[in-house]
A and B are shown apart, each in its own frame.
Chain A
């Protein structure tokens, strides 16, 4: 099934079509050579490549890498024992990946040009050896070299990590026995002592998490948030065509502006006053030039909401100051749904027309008021003049929930570490982590891991003012809610606790979390809370990571051999690096290669002459399109991420190996075919 899904996935990718063309070309050129293929000959050639590399003492670089890893590991400053192992694992895998990649790229780029230059190739080509066997033989040979390096570095990594983990665990045992630990760290240290530090866990993550002012009520689609605690966002698919008024096409994009229509409910806890209150803010130190002591802010006395527009990456495009003339929309503190409208002028509407997807963000302004929305919270109205009516733009359907539009996403305020959950003793928000279809393993006590960031207004530390989190589990299958669990997390460290199996029975449950400590904010991410559903030996996990690295090295070898069939070795080396990093580089450019960037550049440069602006804009657009198209046919080395899971003590899923194999196969096979075609038509005796 995975294979069939892969095929249907691949068939639309341009790289696949180019690969097919390359293979057909190779078959056309040399079907006879493919029919004559002998694995014995290729293996013999691979043996020579391998022997040459070994006898040239390539492996001597491994001790240097090992010494480097040991030195760097000793210089690390981990926050705890688990972090020490995590960092050491990272160093080991980084050193391994770097060593293997650099070694094979140099060996493979220089091999064929050198054999042609010193004419050793004469005695190989004049044997009944096809050029395909030569190409494949060299690839296999250097793949064997990288496997050897990986084996040695893998054994070292496993041994060194085991030794470190054993040492740290022994230290922990001694400290616990001597009672030389604080109460906050004790649970984590006891966990380490019991389960060890070298772990490979299968962690089940929530499907989503959100911040509400009250736990979701069963059977209700309305969710609530406190003012100032975050916002609620809904996606919309936008295009210049969607923002063109029917019958007013000549007037351009949204000539009459746009209107955000929201349906909200209000529940204000404090009675509204007619005069605004003032509040002295704490000293804001921004820079030595901008220190503003005694600055004040005012809060609205009546419930109100503000709107802003975000792009597809949830970065701000239009701030609240550009919508509704910068004024929040006031609400009545009364039950029932209120229709709220906010106007976006035509000039600002044009800014969002080029975005393929936007998010409308609504945030409440009054801290003492709850604002609620249901699943049909927002729509965009495109007004027309004649006749005076509005075209409604609704959110798109959620592919996870066909037939239903995207539900509103309740977000916390962005902090240093994820989204912030405000702490306090009253009227505090809840973070709700939704687990669906979670397999919790077979034990009676289900292990749970929690990792948060803690931000405080004062300078208190974890010990002086411990952060108190209250968690409870609401089982969506049984409807039961568990008794609260109190956790005292440390900033940036993982906390471990167990929950009874009955609480998570069925696999569909929500974990409700709130912070009970005043003047503290708990930073949360989607993977802050995880359920441990299984474990496997660390050595097996490490082996999977190394296999991923090996698959990447095979691709590197193939690209290097391909480049060296028609280029001198220095240029082949450069081309290999460009091919490997091209896709990643274009991704890093992000919006700079998005459609519409040509117009943006022309606008930014302030061209007044339309002809010049068009030349610049179309040139930039063409360059951007070319970069995107080239990137589409280059390999995505992000699929070879071998260390993320293992660093975090998580099981490397088999899908990771499959993805890596896919990339290696999809890009490697056509490159082998092209290398064969180039070598077959190359005069090796110039």
Chain B
């Protein structure tokens, strides 16, 4: 397999069998997927479509029934390649009796990061994910869902990975947190890292992903660039600032004379997320920490 690709799968299939070896569920069926280095790739699909199964196969949490997968040129699940992978699971599957700092130090030791380096990196990461000093000393079982996602993200970035797998990264985050997460993903991409994003929150995926694939019942349905997939090619949109109502009427008449049936001229809308973020930021000043840091 070419090592220039971040992830490659060939006929990747996962069949769950019962105790007697009979086929029970075909969770993934002949998946052929290539993710390029440095891109943000979205893995979409309804519940039970095989998204999590794909992630688990790439990480070696489960074994393929057929086919193969490679991550950064090495077989999926190999221990060596885990040095370069960061993984944020869909829930915070972390040790609930450790506090934030202890969690990051533990995972840092698994990467054999020197103690000095770890002592420098852990506070930085906690700042990046937005956990304040008090929260770092509290045990994970006292964290809110959003705080738990933040610490989960921090542990995924502890080793400055080349490829990051994010499973439902914005679950449990408020709109500010969601925006910060998305900003972080973009900044990771700018650093040349590859991000595999698995989500069923379509708006989040649309904003950050370069390419996406949609899975349904274990099979890939479509794959391609987001903008290509979302373009409605038979409608043309023109944007102009400062048109007066008489100018709008004249424009409509002109389009009619060109043979365009019932042209529509309206004002574009922003997203509810943008509105929320703007209002909150305006009211709190510049107190919010941004995710966009170049040093993760």
A binding-site residues for B, Cβ under 8 Å: 32-33, 36, 38, 40-41, 43-45, 47-48, 51-52, 55-56, 118-130, 683-686
**Is the Cβ of B109 less than 8 Å from the Cβ of A684?**
no
B20 within 8 A of A: no
**Smallest CB gap from B97: residue in A:** A55
Say yes or no: A123-B107 contact (C-beta < 8 A), given A52-B97, A55-B97.
Answer: yes
B109 is contacted by which of A36, A40, A51, A55 (Cβ under 8 Å)?
A: A40
A51 is contacted by which of B80, B94, B98 (Cβ under 8 Å)?
A: B98
**Smallest CB gap from B91: residue in A:** A119
A52 is contacted by which of B82, B91, B95 (Cβ under 8 Å)?
A: B95
- A51 and B89 CA atoms in complex are apart in Å by 23
**Is the Cβ of A47 less than 8 Å from the Cβ of B106?**
yes
**Is the Cβ of A125 less than 8 Å from the Cβ of B60?**
yes
- A48 and B155 CA atoms in complex are apart in Å by 15
Say yes or no: A128-B82 contact (C-beta < 8 A), given A38-B112, A122-B61.
Answer: yes
A682 to B: closest C-beta gap in Å: 10
**Is the Cβ of A36 less than 8 Å from the Cβ of B89?**
no
A41 is contacted by which of B87, B91, B110 (Cβ under 8 Å)?
A: B110
B110 is contacted by which of A118, A119, A127 (Cβ under 8 Å)?
A: A127
**Is the Cβ of B95 less than 8 Å from the Cβ of A684?**
no
Contact digits for B153-176, partner A, Cβ 8 Å, 1 yes 0 no: 001000000000000000000000
B175 to A: closest C-beta gap in Å: 27
List the A side residues contacting B62 at CB < 8 Å: 683-686
- A127 and B91 CA atoms in complex are apart in Å by 17
List the B side residues contacting A45 at CB < 8 Å: 110
**Is the Cβ of B56 less than 8 Å from the Cβ of A685?**
yes
**Smallest CB gap from A55: residue in B:** B97
**Is the Cβ of A128 less than 8 Å from the Cβ of B93?**
no
**Smallest CB gap from B88: residue in A:** A123
A-B pairs under 8 A by CB, number: 78
**Is the Cβ of B98 less than 8 Å from the Cβ of A48?**
yes
A411 to B: closest C-beta gap in Å: 60
**Is the Cβ of A36 less than 8 Å from the Cβ of B79?**
yes
B209 within 8 A of A: no
Other 9 A-B pairs with CB < 8 A, given A32-B79, A123-B107: A41-B110, A51-B102, A55-B97, A121-B93, A122-B59, A123-B93, A126-B85, A126-B87, A129-B110
- A686 and B61 CA atoms in complex are apart in Å by 8
B172 to A: closest C-beta gap in Å: 16
- A40 and B111 CA atoms in complex are apart in Å by 9
- The DSSP consensus for interface residues of chain B is loop
B binding-site residues for A, Cβ under 8 Å: 56, 59-63, 79-80, 82-83, 85, 87, 89, 91, 93-95, 97-98, 102, 106-107, 109-112, 155
List the B side residues contacting A55 at CB < 8 Å: 97
**Smallest CB gap from B165: residue in A:** A126
**Is the Cβ of B93 less than 8 Å from the Cβ of A127?**
no
List the B side residues contacting A38 at CB < 8 Å: 112
List the A side residues contacting B91 at CB < 8 Å: 119
Q: List 12 A-B contacts (CB under 8 A).
A: A41-B110, A47-B106, A52-B95, A120-B95, A125-B61, A128-B79, A128-B80, A128-B82, A129-B110, A683-B61, A684-B61, A685-B61
**Is the Cβ of B63 less than 8 Å from the Cβ of A127?**
no
List the B side residues contacting A123 at CB < 8 Å: 87, 89, 93-94, 107, 155
List the A side residues contacting B110 at CB < 8 Å: 41, 44-45, 124, 127-129
- A321 and B119 CA atoms in complex are apart in Å by 86
**Is the Cβ of A118 less than 8 Å from the Cβ of B112?**
no
B236 to A: closest C-beta gap in Å: 47
A299 to B: closest C-beta gap in Å: 75
**Smallest CB gap from B61: residue in A:** A685
List the A side residues contacting B56 at CB < 8 Å: 685
List the A side residues contacting B102 at CB < 8 Å: 51
- A306 and B110 CA atoms in complex are apart in Å by 77
A127 is contacted by which of B97, B98, B111 (Cβ under 8 Å)?
A: B111
**Is the Cβ of A122 less than 8 Å from the Cβ of B109?**
no
**Is the Cβ of B63 less than 8 Å from the Cβ of A683?**
yes
**Is the Cβ of B59 less than 8 Å from the Cβ of A126?**
yes
What 7 pairs across the A-B complex have the smallest Cβ distances?
Answer: A685-B61, A44-B109, A119-B93, A127-B110, A128-B82, A683-B62, A55-B97
List the B side residues contacting A125 at CB < 8 Å: 59-61
- A43 and B87 CA atoms in complex are apart in Å by 22
**Is the Cβ of B89 less than 8 Å from the Cβ of A129?**
no
List the A side residues contacting B80 at CB < 8 Å: 36, 128
**Is the Cβ of B61 less than 8 Å from the Cβ of A126?**
yes
B199 to A: closest C-beta gap in Å: 18
- A128 and B98 CA atoms in complex are apart in Å by 21
List the A side residues contacting B59 at CB < 8 Å: 122, 125-126
Q: Which of B80, B109, B112, B155 neighbours the largest number of chain A CB atoms within 10 Å of its CB? A: B109
- A685 and B62 CA atoms in complex are apart in Å by 6
B118 to A: closest C-beta gap in Å: 11
**Is the Cβ of B109 less than 8 Å from the Cβ of A41?**
yes
- A56 and B98 CA atoms in complex are apart in Å by 11
- A119 and B98 CA atoms in complex are apart in Å by 16
- A3 and B248 CA atoms in complex are apart in Å by 99
- A55 and B85 CA atoms in complex are apart in Å by 30
A374 to B: closest C-beta gap in Å: 71
**Smallest CB gap from A683: residue in B:** B62
**Is the Cβ of B95 less than 8 Å from the Cβ of A48?**
yes
**Smallest CB gap from B85: residue in A:** A126
A251 to B: closest C-beta gap in Å: 57
**Is the Cβ of B61 less than 8 Å from the Cβ of A129?**
no
B281 to A: closest C-beta gap in Å: 33
**Smallest CB gap from B92: residue in A:** A123
List the B side residues contacting A41 at CB < 8 Å: 109-110, 112
- A686 and B27 CA atoms in complex are apart in Å by 12
**Is the Cβ of B106 less than 8 Å from the Cβ of A48?**
yes
**Smallest CB gap from A131: residue in B:** B79
**Smallest CB gap from A681: residue in B:** B63
**Is the Cβ of A120 less than 8 Å from the Cβ of B94?**
yes
A426 to B: closest C-beta gap in Å: 79
**Smallest CB gap from A56: residue in B:** B97
A36 to B: closest C-beta gap in Å: 6
Q: Which of A120, A121, A122 neighbours the largest number of chain B CB atoms within 10 Å of its CB? A: A122
- A123 and B94 CA atoms in complex are apart in Å by 7
**Is the Cβ of B89 less than 8 Å from the Cβ of A119?**
yes
List the B side residues contacting A124 at CB < 8 Å: 110
List the A side residues contacting B87 at CB < 8 Å: 122-123, 126
Q: Which of B56, B62, B94, B95 neighbours the largest number of chain A CB atoms within 10 Å of its CB? A: B95
List the A side residues contacting B111 at CB < 8 Å: 127-128
B79 is contacted by which of A56, A120, A130 (Cβ under 8 Å)?
A: A130
List the A side residues contacting B93 at CB < 8 Å: 118-123
**Is the Cβ of A126 less than 8 Å from the Cβ of B95?**
no
- A41 and B109 CA atoms in complex are apart in Å by 6
- A124 and B109 CA atoms in complex are apart in Å by 11
